[in-house]
Amino acid sequence: MSTSLLEAKAISKKFGGIQALSEVSLSIQQGEIYGLIGPNGAGKTTFFNLLTGLYRADSGNFAFAGKPLPSGSAHQITQCGIARTFQNIRLFGQMSALENVMVGRHVRTAAGVLGAIFRTTATRQEEASIREQAERCLDYVGIAQHAHAQAKTLSYGDQRRLEIARALATEPKLLALDEPAAGMNRTETETLRSLIETIRQDGVTILLIEHDVKLVMGLCDRLAVLDYGCKICEDTPQIVQKNARVISAYLGENFAGSE
């Protein structure tokens, strides 16, 4: 549990006049569940987008499993073993749940145009294995019964789980979840929590953005707190909870230190 999987070094990002992130450094250990919290607009999702290559950082860099991550190239980062879900669910709505997960296999498979046109033995075998693995992923998150339903027709909770299944299909070493429990009721959150724990037990490190404080405190090994683009605290949930800067960021100056 002591080797570091992801090292973020002094990441900064500016949008026009707004400093969305300034010099954020953090390190995520292999096998842990690492939480990233902070008030709205603190820069959590920006951090995710930089990490997963949707944006390019102004300065700073990421090292993943000891190697530098290619910057600003989302598909290469997925190839390296980082998968993500989105705050506002982004599924391929017209496609079936199974197809959504099959798309996730894209990065680990190779069939090209010629293989598709001539439908070679290799392509057909690969296609069969894509399908089989996609089915397994759906089963893993517990929505195998909806495999053939159109993704946009699934219930909200199932859509969240489908997104996780699709991310898992890319065989990630690090799974980044952006507010997976948003809009879920208590039971759904509880199932999600045990799903996240199972994923961790199966050897995937997890980076979690979440507003549900109960979930974060119960689940995460360590937490980093962002406020106005700066990391103000990084520690275990018990210590973070008592940190004066964190309390003032969330509740205002008056509450800081009053415990």
Partner 1 sequence: MLLQFCTKHAQSKQGGIFIVLALALILAALPFVVGNTLGNAWLRILNFTLLYIMLALGLNIVVGFAGLLDLGYIAFYAVGAYCYALLSSPHFGLHLPIWLTIPSGALLAAFFGLLLGAPTLRLRGDYLAIVTLGFGEIVRIFLNNLNAPVNITNGPQGISGIDPLHFFGISLGKPINFLGLNVPSLHSYYYLFLALTALVVLLSVRLKRSRIGRAWMAIREDEVAAKSCGINTRNLKLLAFSMGASFGGIAGGLFAGFQGFVSPESFSLMESVMILCMVVLGGMGHIPGVILGGLLLSVLPEIFRQNAAPLQIAILGKVWLDPEALRMLLFGLSLILIMLYRPNGLWPTSAPSSAEQK
Q: Which residues bind partner 1 (CB under 8 A)?
A: 52-54, 74-75, 78-79, 83-84, 86, 90-96, 98-99, 102-109, 111-113, 115-117, 119, 123, 126-127, 130-131, 148-150, 153, 166, 170
Q: What are phi and psi of 19, to 5 degrees?
A: -85, 95
Cβ 201 to partner 1, closest distance in Å? 24
Least Cβ distance, residue 48 to partner 1 (angstroms): 10
CA distance 136 to 63: 31
CB–CB of 189/118 below 8 Å? no
Residue closer to partner 1, measured from CB, 20 or 240: 20
Q: Please, what is the minimum distance in Å from the beta carbon of residue 121 to partner 1?
A: 14
- Give whichever of 8 and 97 is closer to partner 1, judged by the CB atom: 97
Kindly tell me which of 103 and 182 has the beta carbon lying closer to partner 1. 103
Exposed/middle/buried for residue 67 (C-beta within 10 Å: 0-12, 13-18, 19+): exposed
The rounded distance, in Å, linking the Cα atoms of 136 and 21 is 38
Of 100, 89, 249, 61, the closest CA to residue 177 belongs to 89
Min dist CB 219 to partner 1, Å, is 23
Looking at the Cβ atoms of 174 and 232, the one nearer to partner 1 is 174
Helices (H) and strands (E) in the chain, counts: 10, 10
Q: In angstroms, what is the minimal distance from the CB of 7 to partner 1?
A: 21
